[in-house]
Amino acid sequence: MTKETNKTGTNANKSKGIRMIKVAPYIFTAPFVIYFLIFFIYPITETFWTSLCQQVGFAPPKFAGLANYKLLVDDYFIMAVQNSTIYTFFTCLILVPLPLLLAVLLDSKFVVRSEIFKSALFIPALTSVVMAGLFFKYAFSSNESALMNALIGVFGIPAQGWLEKRTTTWIVLVVFCVWKWLGVNIVYYLSALQTIPKDQYEAATIDGANAWQRFLHITIPGVKPTIIYVLTISIYGGFSMFAEAFTLFNSARTPGDIGATIVSYIYAQGFNRNNFGIASAAGITLLAGVLIINIIQLSITDPVGKNGD
């Protein structure tokens, strides 16, 4: 009886252990799944439903079909799309290649005490967007004694109303973005550079490859996944920009809509005009647009090497 009891108990323990092994992955992944459903899927679903309704303030929503999407052809939204596209293009144009070049330079033997430069370049990322925005607002003000006007005055250039014209406004915003996120992208690239075996550079040098050839044929292929990642998040960050423009103008609406972005349009429609239907439609349009752009970008850059590169 004792042996049979022990066998029965052993078999029961084994079956419990097998069940725990099967259940354990679901237990560990449950927090993420719950978080994803509550804070991602539910808001997107609710926003999509609201975009199909006419809802002003906290009044009960009334189904309106695609009427809210038809209202997105107004001049304000078109200007916001144009501005966001321009901003995203120029920030990607600068924040993808420039940090890579600086990371390669900092990782080389030509820079002494590179840790100091790495820390200095990363400090802006730790600065509050609001505080940094206030600095840029006064540094680029139209006052002749403002920082930028004082600097260009040394070269005999008259004072500019930086935040009064569309072109100069976007110069300020792009400079603001580059100053803020340059150090973060440098850190990404520095981490990627550490994964490239040093003997590849040594072998290439022995074979007579110069610095440019080593950079082109070893460095760029070695950090390609990081380049794609930086480009992807830069596209998302460009189209979702809001705090920088809001801080510079103290409002979601700017004179002549020169600083309008898609997110500021959503903010203005939702919180200034209490028109949550149009705001939701703009949000879904932004989500769809960024997804399409990123899918096209990822298919072109081929991050997983599907084309055999």
* 11 shares a domain with 138: no
Decide if 249 is inside a domain. Answer: yes
Decide if 307 is inside a domain. Answer: no
* 95 shares a domain with 218: yes
* 104 shares a domain with 24: no
* 134 shares a domain with 42: no
CATH code of the domain in which 168 resides: 1.10.3720.10
- Strand pairing partners for 25? none
Report DSSP letters for 9-47, one per residue.
HHHHHHHHHHHHHHHHHHHHHHHHHHHHIIIIIHHHHHH
**Domains in the chain, number:** 2
Tell me if 84 sits within 8 A of 241, measured CB to CB: yes
DSSP character at residue 271: I
Closest CA to 264 of 280, 285, 281, 241: 241
pLDDT at residue 25, rounded to an integer: 77
- Other CB atoms closer than 10 Å to residue 159's CB: what's the count? 16
Three-state SS for 166-182 is HHHHHHHHHHHHHHHHH
Do you know the residue count of the chain?
309
**Domain assignment of residue 17, given as a range:** 2-51
* 187 shares a domain with 44: no
* 24 shares a domain with 93: no
- Other CB atoms closer than 10 Å to residue 71's CB: what's the count? 16
* 84 shares a domain with 34: no
Tell me if 103 sits within 8 A of 186, measured CB to CB: yes
* 181 shares a domain with 36: no
Query: How buried is residue 218: exposed, middle or buried, by Cβ count under 10 Å (0-12/13-18/19+)?
Result: middle
Tell me if 149 sits within 8 A of 160, measured CB to CB: yes
Decide if 56 is inside a domain. Answer: no
Decide if 294 is inside a domain. Answer: yes
* 23 shares a domain with 79: no
DSSP character at residue 282: H
Decide if 234 is inside a domain. Answer: yes
Tell me if 168 sits within 8 A of 162, measured CB to CB: yes
Tell me if 35 sits within 8 A of 265, measured CB to CB: no
* 270 shares a domain with 211: yes
pTM of the complete model beyond 0.75: yes
* 177 shares a domain with 90: yes
Supply 172's token pair. 């300020």
Query: Tens-of-pLDDT digits for all 309 residues of the chain?
Result: 455 555 555 555 555 555 656 777 788 888 988 998 999 899 999 999 999 988 777 778 888 888 888 877 888 899 999 999 999 999 999 999 999 999 998 888 777 777 888 888 888 888 888 889 889 999 998 888 888 999 998 888 888 888 888 888 888 999 999 999 999 999 999 999 989 888 888 888 888 888 889 999 999 999 999 999 999 999 999 999 998 888 888 777 777 778 889 999 999 998 888 888 999 999 999 999 999 998 898 888 776 665 554
Angle at 104 between CA 98 and CA 107, to 5 degrees: 135
Tell me if 81 sits within 8 A of 73, measured CB to CB: no
* 113 shares a domain with 27: no
Report DSSP letters for 40-87, one per residue.
IIHHHHHHHHHHTEE-BTTSPPEE-TTHHHHGGGSHHHHHHHHHHHHH
Tell me if 167 sits within 8 A of 281, measured CB to CB: no
Decide if 64 is inside a domain. Answer: no
Grouping H, G, I as helix, E, B as strand and the rest as coil, residue 275 is strand
pLDDT at residue 107, rounded to an integer: 86
Angle at 63 between CA 58 and CA 56, to 5 degrees: 25
Tell me if 87 sits within 8 A of 245, measured CB to CB: no
